[in-house]
Amino acid sequence: MTDTAVASAYDDLTADLVATSGETVTVIAPFTGEPLVELPQSSETDVASAAEAAREAQVAWFAAGAAYRREVLLRGHDLLLERRRTLLDLNQLETGKTRAQAFEEVVQAANTARYVALTAPALLRPQRRKGVLPVVTRASVDYVPKGVIGIITPWNYPVSLAGMDVLPALAAGNAVVQKADNQAALSVLALRRAFVDAGVPEALWSVVAGPGDTVGNAVVDVSDYVCFTGSTATGRKVAERAARALHGASLELGGKNPIIVLDDADLEKAAAGVAFGAFSALGQLCVSMERVYVERGIADAFIPLLVERVKALHQGPALDYSTDVGSLTSAAQLERVEAHVSDAVSKGATVLAGGTRREDLGPFFYEPTVLTDVTPDMSCFAGETFGPVLSVYIVDDEDDAIRRANDSEYGLNASVFSRSLTRAHAVARQLDAGIVNLNEPYRAAFGSVDAPMGGMKASGLGRRNGPEGILRFVDTRTIGEATVLFQMPRTGREMEQLLPVVMTLLKTMRTLRLR
């Protein structure tokens, strides 16, 4: 399964981890169930020393200026594309996803690198702002990097998710200490290596690996701001810990993403879109869809088309573009998916497609599964499966679809299929979701690196992507100055004398609508 170039990359990459505990963890390759790598583990002391070195490196990185950082990040972009083959291999071998989905990760990271490199310098330039009253004072705003950003990433989309947090943090002049998930550390290290070879100082972006409740906690403690991507349950713990230290945090958490197929949709395109959106990375993607709401009038025509599309997905462990869906990433994921499906079936759900393991393909392969007759007492009704299980619901009309789509603790991604963009936009505006995709399940919004991405409700706090995704990494410092033209009143008498002038000024500004 592995070629020698990839295998020899393991040693080089694991040497880049800040990990001196002497312990290792055996990472299992999902395609085969065989050991992939013995991954060194970090200690809390490693996190502290990485943060100390990062803090030192950050001073010079910020002082080098925005234009310098721009050029380094653009060179990193180029190296990332040049080295994509090794990165794609590593990513597939660690996560079990297909080549196409691994390539989507590289595209997202490259887009982010280019965007933040070219956006941050102008966005973070000092700005003039209006003073208290014209002539009397002036104000300006500096954007100051927060310092050391702690970034905790999951195993499912290591390259794009690390890229979307680390690269804007660096572009804004910060250093990063990242805790990679053991299952996806090699991909993160390969991404980092491209940027280090492009000129990012080694100590400016450290990667550690280890258990969440020790190494993860230590990352939160040493950081000035925390980015966490993972489950809602862990996100709450991270948020509590960061809040105690009065550190800000952005949290990208779970979802139970709905897709609405309206009765004027192109049914062939909608079936292909739903099949793609539900089973990308075999459903192990935060923005993949787990619920589809179909208007009653088209249900009889649409559901068979969807089932046909899902059954036609080609599944397998190929390190090329020949498959449409791959493997689940771990035994724990397989267990969770099987539990959700057997719970649903035992309570009366009907399996329209899939519903079984594919041990003939590999130990963690599970078929893309479509269920109907799913009811609120089943664990897959409201709980995130994070796997290849899609529930189909027939709804009375558009309002019923919107109400049911919003009836969730989550609010990450949603999608609407309709031939009328006016109608689709109107529905989108009523959905509780941080991103909504029209006639596409997730890539239109998720991939728009100029537009913010994140969750409403229990799906998260804060945003990545867009100017919002860069501004979370800076503090503002407002500098106000009293002009020499006018002395601000210091005493009660001076204020009394100025009162008519101030009153006239306030009223004039209101009349002229001067902000």
**Residue 289 β-bridge partners:** 257
Q: Which of 94, 252, 290, 398 is catalytic?
A: 252
Residue 338 designated active-site:
no
Q: Smallest gap, in angstroms, from Cβ of residue 115 to ligand NAD?
A: 17
**Tokens standing for residue 456:** 């409403």
What is d(CA 171, CA 158) in angstroms, rounded to the nearest whole number? 19
| Closest among 227, 114, 223 to 171, alpha carbons compared | 114
212 binds ligand NAD (CB under 6 A): yes
| Closest among 370, 337, 334, 335 to 354, alpha carbons compared | 370
- CB neighbour list of residue 243: distance below 8 Å, 6 or more residues apart: 249
Candidate ranges 41-49, 154-162, 303-311, 476-484; the one touching ligand NAD (CB under 6 A): 154-162
Q: Smallest gap, in angstroms, from Cβ of residue 226 to ligand NAD?
A: 9
Angle between helices 296-311 and 267-279 (to 10 degrees): 50
155 binds ligand NAD (CB under 6 A): yes
CB atoms within 10 A of CB 468: 16
What is d(CA 218, CA 89) in angstroms, rounded to the nearest whole number? 31
What is d(CA 481, CA 38) in angstroms, rounded to the nearest whole number? 58
Candidate ranges 66-74, 85-93, 230-238, 257-265; the one touching ligand NAD (CB under 6 A): 230-238
Q: Smallest gap, in angstroms, from Cβ of residue 11 to ligand NAD?
A: 23
91 binds ligand NAD (CB under 6 A): no
- Give the nearer residue to ligand NAD in terms of CB position, either 173 or 452: 452
410 binds ligand NAD (CB under 6 A): no
Restricted to residues 357-396, the positions that interact with ligand NAD (CB under 6 A) are: 384, 386
| Of the residues 40, 163, 248, 254, which one makes contact with ligand NAD according to CB under 6 A | 254
| Of the residues 217, 250, 280, 408, which one makes contact with ligand NAD according to CB under 6 A | 217
76 binds ligand NAD (CB under 6 A): no
466 binds ligand NAD (CB under 6 A): no
411 binds ligand NAD (CB under 6 A): no
**Tokens standing for residue 192:** 């980092």
| Long-range contacts formed by 301-306: CB under 8 A, 24+ apart | 301/267, 302/261, 302/265, 302/267, 302/270, 302/271, 303/352, 303/372, 303/392, 305/267, 305/268, 305/271, 306/270, 306/271, 306/274, 306/275, 306/370, 306/392
40 binds ligand NAD (CB under 6 A): no
- Give the nearer residue to ligand NAD in terms of CB position, either 104 or 384: 384
- Give the nearer residue to ligand NAD in terms of CB position, either 76 or 230: 230
Q: Smallest gap, in angstroms, from Cβ of residue 283 to ligand NAD?
A: 10
Report the Cα 430 to chain-centroid distance in Å: 23
469 binds ligand NAD (CB under 6 A): no
Number of H helices, E strands in the chain: 18, 20
- Give the nearer residue to ligand NAD in terms of CB position, either 252 or 295: 252
Angle between helices 66-82 and 99-123 (to 10 degrees): 170
Q: How many residues does the chain have?
A: 515
What is d(CA 366, CA 255) in angstroms, rounded to the nearest whole number? 21
460 binds ligand NAD (CB under 6 A): yes
Q: Smallest gap, in angstroms, from Cβ of residue 157 to ligand NAD?
A: 6
Q: Smallest gap, in angstroms, from Cβ of residue 190 to ligand NAD?
A: 17
277 binds ligand NAD (CB under 6 A): no
**Residue 138 β-bridge partners:** 481
Q: Smallest gap, in angstroms, from Cβ of residue 179 to ligand NAD?
A: 6
What is d(CA 87, CA 114) in angstroms, rounded to the nearest whole number? 18
SS3 177: strand
- Give the nearer residue to ligand NAD in terms of CB position, either 58 or 217: 217
280 binds ligand NAD (CB under 6 A): no
Q: Smallest gap, in angstroms, from Cβ of residue 9 to ligand NAD?
A: 21
- Whether residue 164 contacts residue 465, with contact meaning beta carbons closer than 8 Å, is answered with yes
C-alpha pair distances (Å), 412 with each of 5, 112, 134, 464, 511: 38, 20, 44, 13, 43
Assign residue 295 a region (left: φ > 0; alpha: ψ between -120 and 50; beta: otherwise). beta
- Whether residue 58 contacts residue 203, with contact meaning beta carbons closer than 8 Å, is answered with no
Measured at CB, which residue is nearest to ligand NAD?
212
- Give the nearer residue to ligand NAD in terms of CB position, either 18 or 124: 18
Restricted to residues 233-252, the positions that interact with ligand NAD (CB under 6 A) are: 234, 237-238, 252
Q: Smallest gap, in angstroms, from Cβ of residue 329 to ligand NAD?
A: 9
213 binds ligand NAD (CB under 6 A): yes
- Give the nearer residue to ligand NAD in terms of CB position, either 253 or 265: 253
C-alpha pair distances (Å), 238 with each of 175, 444, 458: 20, 30, 14
- Tell me which residues touch ligand NAD (CB under 6 A): 152-157, 161, 179, 181, 212-213, 216-217, 229-231, 234, 237-238, 252-255, 286, 384, 386, 412, 455, 460
Active-site residue numbers? 252
